[in-house]
Amino acid sequence: FGDDDDDDEDEDDQKTPLRAKKKTQLFFTTMLSDKETSVDLKPNGSVIRVTFENRLEYIKLCYEARLEEHDTMIDSIRRGIDKIAPIDCLNVMNWRELEILICGKKEININLLR
């Protein structure tokens, strides 16, 4: 009713940009690149709030989760390639040699087909 303090807060709020007013609560979870899967970065991460004090741990865990999210797929690709060419040989091959080994030559020998 007659509080001048409330009027001062309203004036300050009008000067503050809208995005600065929005308080986002972060928890120890992150969204993976499929934009559908959310994972806890640590046990019970969905209930542990990110604070100023633990922000660096949160950043490190997000970074690690995103770097490791495709490990199972990459491992499957490596196992598949290993069935065609031993993984150790890949270090001494260039991409063209690997392409020929996996796909074969681009030219078709008609005489060979007869």
Model confidence over 101-113: pLDDT tens digits?
888 888 888 887 7
Answering whether pTM is above 0.75, one says no
pLDDT at 8 over 70: no
What pLDDT shows up at residue 18? 52
- Residue pair 84/99 in contact (Cβ under 8 Å)? The answer is no
Model confidence over 21-41: pLDDT tens digits?
567 789 999 999 899 999 999
Count of Cβ atoms closer than 10 Å to residue 81 Cβ: 16
CA angle centred on 53, ends 49 and 59, rounded to 5°: 70
- Residue pair 82/76 in contact (Cβ under 8 Å)? The answer is no
